[in-house]
């Protein structure tokens, strides 16, 4: 049986018919083997177009000094996407694709958009992270929007804790009756439990809240006027929910329990906003959480409110009015050094003066002052930051802490070149700061002319004004007081009259939680640079004890003497002064 060969027209018809069928079949899920030549060619041309687009964006990024990234080849974090709402992503053409807890990475198709730096800064400040910006193509932005669509409906965590005046008032009794607080905590849910603890701590005047997992239960403790007090126990069973709630508020990762984490949130009351600095630390029985309450009102305290009086007040006032040089505060952790620095900044903050701070971390936000936060993960150290801010033409520079030779040398050179530098260093006394600098290998011939004054300080508890009463000191204690104050030279402006002494103590009442103390006051010693002290520094070797003797000889009142003078004025007790200062 003979057959005829198909014509060219027949072959074309068959090709078209096959292509149509093939297309329909492809839509239903054919394999690559079923794809026609025309489809393969079309797909290849599309890939070439995509490659050409990405190549142009890559070249544009290189020209702008940005890093290019292809998000279709990079996993986008849902947690990161949520940091920028989808509506903002569409409008400003920016997407957040990485959030690690220490850094955020943003990508945009429009690097000239002036809103993008604002978004980046906002995320950095609110999350306390380092941000990086990348360039992407329109195709990548479209891909990110497709990822948004696949995410489950998201309800952002609350910005902080809202506590009404009525709630604070209702917690007033609980704050002075810790048994009542403990009983109430057993009856509330997790969210209410966290709010109750925070509200009670505010009412009690606590500076820190400690929530610590132990073997059988979880202890809640408040730091009141520098000392910790047990206030409640939480059942171990509810601890995971409590710490998750705290982490959620603080912007911390819920699934990380074996590494330290730091975060922040804000408490809003009718009267003020309180920043809360949160630290989570893994321990044997679970995580320990410490929440430090940072009240904005603390940063605006005056020298008088801090307890700087007499010759110390006159010396400090004179030194901060000098146009250049270095003023150092010393003392252990929790001695109020940062608060003293902020009091200095408030005094110096004038319209014609530029002040820049370098802090780790920024504890209080001050209006009119440029505050910069250290970020060790990004290589932004005190020394690096100090070099950078000196190019910002400041008049006054505050460095949170002198930790190493590099930072000290940059700060000293700044003090010698027309800047007033204020900072802190960890030593036990004002006299100990100079041997500490020399031990860092700071050059004596630079330190001597740069240093204006060193202030040593501690915090002692104030006697409660509501239950204050006169007391008689034991004979040996009174003799010790008289001997210490007798060492102040005759004719010194601060020498007290010991012929008529009166001392007080708190009996304990509801206002002070039956402790006898309410609030704290500083005790100080100020070593002011003199020709004799400068000569000793230039000698290169001096002990803390020798420097202390020279400073006293030059008119310095010691912290113990300052504290006993305040005890004579009824501000604190002799026992408290000896507990803290000796």
Is 519 found in the same domain as 401? yes
Give the pTM.
Answer: 0.69
Query: Who has greater pLDDT, 297 or 570?
Result: 570
The first and second tokens of residue 124, run together, are: 């950095």
Is 214 found in the same domain as 141? no
Torsion angle of the four alpha carbons 570, 576, 580, 582, in this order, in degrees rounded to the nearest 10: 90
Q: How far, in Å, CA of 68 to CA of 56, rounded?
A: 10
CATH of the domain at 232: 3.30.450.90
Among the listed residues 530, 523, 532, the one whose alpha carbon sits nearest the alpha carbon of residue 573: 523
In the chain, the number of structural domains is 3
Residue 48 located in a structural domain:
no
Residue 5 located in a structural domain:
no
Q: Sorting pLDDT into bands at 50, 70 and 90, what band is 52?
A: confident
Q: Sorting pLDDT into bands at 50, 70 and 90, what band is 270?
A: confident
Mean of pLDDT over the chain: 84
pLDDT tens across 358-382, in order? Answer: 988 888 888 889 998 888 777 788 8
- Bridge partners, residue 268, by sequence: 162, 273
Is 169 found in the same domain as 318? no
Q: How far, in Å, CA of 358 to CA of 386, rounded?
A: 7
Are 415 and 325 within 8 A, CB to CB?
yes
Residue 541 located in a structural domain:
yes
Residue 560 located in a structural domain:
yes
- Check residue 360 and report its DSSP letter: S
Using the 3D structure, point to which of 100, 125, 150 is the last residue of a domain.
150
Q: Sorting pLDDT into bands at 50, 70 and 90, what band is 175?
A: low
- Bridge partners, residue 259, by sequence: none
Torsion angle of the four alpha carbons 456, 458, 464, 469, in this order, in degrees rounded to the nearest 10: -70
Residue 323 located in a structural domain:
yes
The first and second tokens of residue 65, run together, are: 């000094």
Q: How far, in Å, CA of 434 to CA of 544, rounded?
A: 8
Q: Is 230 in a helix, a strand, or coil?
A: strand
Per-residue pLDDT, 155:
46
Domain of residue 144, residue span: 53-150
- The mean per-residue pLDDT over the stretch 61-71 comes to 90
Q: What are phi and psi of 20, to 5 degrees?
A: -65, -45
Per-residue pLDDT, 35:
52
Is 171 found in the same domain as 95? no
Q: How far, in Å, CA of 134 to CA of 120, rounded?
A: 12
Residue 189 above 90 pLDDT? no
Q: How far, in Å, CA of 263 to CA of 373, rounded?
A: 14
Residue 128 above 70 pLDDT? no
Q: Sorting pLDDT into bands at 50, 70 and 90, what band is 286?
A: confident
Residue 547 gets the label, from left (phi > 0), alpha (psi -120 to 50) or beta, of alpha
Residue 65 located in a structural domain:
yes
Q: How far, in Å, CA of 467 to CA of 471, rounded?
A: 12
Residue 41 above 50 pLDDT? no
Burial class (CB within 10 angstroms; exposed 0-12, middle 13-18, buried 19+) of 253: middle
Q: How many CA atoms lie within 13 A of 229 on its CB side?
A: 22
Q: Is 362 in a helix, a strand, or coil?
A: coil
Is 543 found in the same domain as 423? yes
CATH of the domain at 545: 3.40.50.300
Is 270 found in the same domain as 138? no
Residue 44 located in a structural domain:
no
Residue 44 above 80 pLDDT? no
Is 323 found in the same domain as 210? no
Residue 170 above 70 pLDDT? no
Are 201 and 185 within 8 A, CB to CB?
no
Q: How many CA atoms lie within 13 A of 461 on its CB side?
A: 23
The first and second tokens of residue 51, run together, are: 């490659």
Are 398 and 424 within 8 A, CB to CB?
no
Classify the C-alpha dihedral 514-517-520-524 as positive or negative. negative
Are 307 and 299 within 8 A, CB to CB?
no
- The mean per-residue pLDDT over the stretch 280-299 comes to 87
Hey, which of 8-12, 334-338, 458-462 has the most confident mean pLDDT?
458-462
pLDDT tens across 525-542, in order? Answer: 999 999 999 999 998 888
Is 319 found in the same domain as 187? no
- Bridge partners, residue 131, by sequence: 104
Q: List the single range of 1-5, 248-252, 258-262, 300-304 with lowest mean pLDDT.
A: 1-5
Query: Who has greater pLDDT, 434 or 247?
Result: 434
The first and second tokens of residue 5, run together, are: 């060969």
Is 435 found in the same domain as 478? yes
Residue 407 located in a structural domain:
yes
Per-residue pLDDT, 88:
87
Q: How far, in Å, CA of 554 to CA of 547, rounded?
A: 11
Report the percentage of the chain scoring pLDDT > 90: 42
Per-residue pLDDT, 173:
63
Among the listed residues 291, 288, 271, 270, the one whose alpha carbon sits nearest the alpha carbon of residue 280: 288
Report the percentage of the chain scoring pLDDT > 70: 86
Per-residue pLDDT, 471:
93
Per-residue pLDDT, 11:
35
Per-residue pLDDT, 122:
78
Residue 43 above 50 pLDDT? no
Q: Sorting pLDDT into bands at 50, 70 and 90, what band is 153?
A: low
Length of the chain: 582
Is 328 found in the same domain as 179? no
């Amino acid at each position: 049986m003979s057959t005829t060969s198909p014509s060219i027209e027949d072959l074309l018809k068959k090709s078209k018919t096959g292509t149509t069928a093939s297309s329909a079949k492809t839509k239903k899920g054919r394999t690559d083997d079923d794809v026609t030549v025309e489809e393969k060619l079309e797909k290849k041309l599309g890939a070439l177009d995509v490659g050409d687009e990405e190549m142009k964006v890559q070249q544009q990024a290189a020209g702008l000094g940005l890093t290019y990234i292809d998000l279709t080849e990079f996993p986008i974090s849902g947690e990161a996407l949520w940091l920028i709402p989808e509506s903002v992503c569409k409008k400003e053409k920016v997407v957040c694709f990485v959030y690690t807890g220490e850094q955020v990475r943003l990508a945009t198709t429009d690097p000239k958009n002036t809103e993008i730096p604002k978004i980046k800064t906002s995320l950095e400040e609110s999350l306390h992270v380092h941000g990086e910006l990348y360039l992407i193509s329109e195709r990548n932005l479209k891909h990110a929007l497709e990822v948004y669509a696949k995410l489950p409906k998201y309800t952002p965590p609350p910005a902080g804790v809202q506590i009404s005046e009525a709630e604070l008032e209702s917690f007033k009794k609980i704050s002075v009756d810790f048994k009542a607080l403990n009983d109430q905590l057993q009856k509330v849910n997790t969210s209410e439990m966290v709010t109750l603890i925070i509200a009670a701590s505010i009412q009690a005047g606590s500076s820190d809240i400690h929530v610590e997992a132990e073997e059988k239960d979880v202890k809640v403790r408040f730091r009141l006027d520098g000392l910790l007090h047990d206030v409640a126990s939480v059942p171990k069973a509810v601890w995971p929910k409590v710490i998750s709630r705290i982490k959620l508020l603080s912007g911390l990762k819920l699934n990380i329990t074996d590494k330290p984490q730091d975060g922040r949130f804000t408490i809003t009351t009718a009267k003020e906003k309180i920043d809360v600095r949160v630290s989570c630390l893994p321990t044997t029985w679970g995580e320990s959480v410490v929440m430090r309450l940072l009240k904005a009102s603390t940063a605006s305290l005056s020298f008088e409110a801090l307890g700087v009086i007499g010759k110390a007040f006159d010396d400090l006032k004179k030194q901060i009015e000098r146009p250049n040089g270095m003023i150092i505060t010393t003392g252990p952790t929790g001695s109020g050094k940062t608060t003293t620095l902020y009091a200095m900044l408030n005094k110096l903050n004038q319209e014609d003066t530029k002040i820049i701070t370098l802090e780790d971390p920024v504890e209080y936000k001050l209006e009119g002052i440029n505050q910069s936060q250290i970020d060790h993960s990004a290589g932004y150290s005190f020394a690096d930051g100090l070099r950078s801010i000196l190019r910002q033409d400041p008049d006054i520079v505050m460095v949170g802490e002198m930790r190493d030779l590099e930072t000290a040398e940059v700060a000293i050179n700044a003090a010698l070149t027309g800047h007033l530098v204020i900072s802190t260093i960890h030593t036990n006394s004002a006299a100990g700061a100079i041997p500490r600098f020399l031990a860092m290998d700071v050059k004596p011939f630079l330190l001597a002319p740069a240093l204006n004054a060193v202030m040593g300080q501690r915090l002692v508890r104030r006697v409660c004004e509501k239950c204050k009463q006169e007391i008689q000191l034991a004979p040996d204690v009174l003799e010790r007081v008289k001997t210490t104050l007798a060492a102040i030279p005759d004719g010194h402006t601060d020498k007290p009259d010991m012929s008529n002494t009166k001392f007080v103590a708190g009996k304990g009442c509801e206002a002070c939680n039956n402790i006898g103390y309410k609030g704290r006051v500083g005790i100080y010693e100020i070593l002011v640079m003199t020709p004799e002290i400068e000569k000793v520094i230039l000698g290169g070797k001096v002990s803390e004890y020798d420097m202390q003797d020279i400073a006293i000889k030059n008119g310095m009142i010691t912290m113990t003497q300052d504290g006993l003078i305040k005890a004579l004025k009824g501000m604190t007790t002799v026992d408290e002064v000896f507990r803290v200062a000796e």
